[in-house]
Amino acid sequence: MGELDAIDRSILRILQQEGRISNADLAAKVGLSPSACSRRVDILEKTGTIAGYHARIAHKALDYKIMVIVHISLSGQFAKTLAEFEGAVKLCPNVLVCYLMSGEYDYILRVAARDLEDYERIHRDWLSALPHVVKINSSFSLREIIDRPNVGI
């Protein structure tokens, strides 16, 4: 999709805040007919501008009380090494985010754990078993200040 116009941006802004809004209500808010609004949303979905819809569940409600930021160094940055690591890390259900980085560490992960014993299990059974890992540095979050699910539009 090319440039987003003002109506597309309005649609995205509203959907970020009210993901369950009806098409009729969305259309009224952006000044379109329901059919025109539906076509726009369909295009935004098909082009990948809207990547999906989901319920945002509080981790603590599921008894995940600890957030851990994990820095990982690999034995090298060959394409095969990176691909094998990335394929394996995607299988770990406690890894919420994984970024390939520049700088001192190759990857940064955000990991959810129920408690210290749970993180020890995750570290032992998952993180240490990831291919090509030579160094793991874990930092424990003391308090969440902000966790935005969306960017400003």
For residue 108, what pLDDT is reported?
A: 98
* pLDDT at position 28 over 70: yes
> 34 with 23: CB under 8 angstroms?
yes
| CATH level 3 topology of 59-140 | Alpha-Beta Plaits (3.30.70)
- pLDDT-based confidence at 152, cuts 50/70/90? confident
Q: How does pLDDT run across 67-111, given as a tens digit for each residue? A: 999 999 999 999 999 999 999 999 999 999 999 999 999 999 999
**Is 1.10.10.10 the CATH number for 6-46?**
yes
> 133 with 73: CB under 8 angstroms?
yes
Q: How far apart are CA 20 and CA 132, in angstroms?
A: 42
The full set of domain ranges for the chain reads: 6-46, 59-140
> Phi and psi of 71, rounded to 5°?
-100, 130
Helix 34-46 with 6-17: angle, nearest 10 deg = 80
Beta bridge partner(s), residue 138:
70
Extract the tokens encoding 84. 């094998």
